[in-house]
Structures are given as C-alpha cells and as structure tokens.
Amino acid sequence: MHWISYLPALGRGALITAEITLASLAIGAFLAFLAGIVRVEGGRILSIIALCYTELFRGTSLLVQLFWFYYALPLVGFSFSPVSTGILVLSMHVGAYGSEIVRAGLKSVPQQQHEAARALNFGPVHKLLHITLPQAIVEMMPAFGNLAIETLKLSSLVSFISIADMTFRAQTLRNLTQDSTTIYTLTLVGYFLMSLVIMVAMRFLERLARRGAAFPKAVQS
C-alpha cells in the first residue's frame, strides 16, 4: 500500500490524541494550580492532602493507573468510558507533576514582594492573585511547556485501554499490512508535528506572561 493510504486512519487517530491531550492539559492545569497553591498557602491539613495526591500519582506507573481506573475501579461500582478514563488519569498525572511546578514557582517570588504586599496591607487572596501568581507564572511556563509535550507523548498509553488514538490506529494498520517502517515513521512524524504546535503555543503564552503579567508595578522594590 502507498503511504498516503495510511493518512486518513492515522489522521482520525491524531484528532483523538489531540482531544485527549488538550482536555487532560486543561483539567490538569486546574488541578496543578489548586494543589500547588494549597501546598504553599493552604495550611497544614490541606497541604498534607495535596502532598499525598501529588506523591501518589508521581510515584506510581501511569500505565498501571490506567489499568486500575479502567479495570479495577468498576469492580467497586465506579466505571468510566475509555476516553473518560484516559482523560481522568492523564489529568491527574498533569495535576500531580504540575503542582510541583506551581509550588516551585510560588516559592521563587522574592521575599521583598511579600514584604511589600504586607506593607500595602494586601490580604492573602489579593496578594496571591495580583502579586505572587503573576510573577510566578512567568517562571512556571518553560516547565509547563515540557509537561505539555510529555503529556502528548504519554497519551499514547491510552491505546492499551482500547482508545483508537494515533498509536492504536498505527498498530491496527501494522497488523493488517505488516508495513511497520512506513506506518511507524508516519506516526513519529505525527507526534513530532503535534509537539511542535504545543511548543509554539507555550512559547507564545510565555511571551504574553512576561510582557503583561509579570512584576506588577505596584510592588516593584
């Protein structure tokens, strides 16, 4: 078969890969900021809960997590569709690793900024939203860019729970045609192109953050 004949099936798989990756990044970013902020500002009990979540999902295999949520969890009465399971597990993965990025970013804000906020009598929420986060986000962006690309690559694991993503469709085509070289080369190119899109998007967001949100004039020391 000519390599062009493989593109429609791989293209449909790439759309599913993109959908799962984008959904996981969006939900995971929310979890990352929630857990990361709680680790720094949430008090002892909430911080311990966030730490347990972070270490659990960072310290166990993502593939085993997929299997547990898809095969084991239904045995106790909770079941999800394959796509929902893939998005859920990848989101928790992004949230766990991203929370460490958020925590490190918040810790990187100079102490003088905190002192200036106290001198201006800013409350904790106002300080977080208008002082700490805008500066910390700038430091977080490169690491979040790496995490986004890593999430795209890890999304190939959802093929193990029968999601027809790009990897699943590549394997199906390979089983039908035995044309391993062409099919897997096209799959590699597909993931590389999607990684380039993510990289460009994250660098654009980083430039926006550096130009607009970083270092509010009100608290410059």
Q: Give the tens place of pLDDT for each residue, 24-45.
A: 999 999 999 999 999 988 888 9
Helices 133-154 and 180-208 pack at an angle, to 10 degrees, of 170
* Biggest distance spanned by C-alpha atoms of the chain: 71
Tell me the pLDDT band of 218, cut-offs 50, 70 and 90. Answer: very low
Total number of domains in the chain: 1
Q: What is the pTM of this model?
A: 0.86
pLDDT score at 109 = 79
Percent share of the chain, pLDDT over 70: 95
pLDDT score at 57 = 94
The CATH number assigned to the domain holding 24 equals: 1.10.3720.10
Helix/strand/coil for 37: helix
> What mean pLDDT do residues 50-79 have?
92
The domain containing residue 25 runs over which residues? 3-219
> What mean pLDDT do residues 81-88 have?
94
Q: Between 155 and 129, where is the model more confident?
A: 155
pLDDT of residue 219 exceeding 70? no
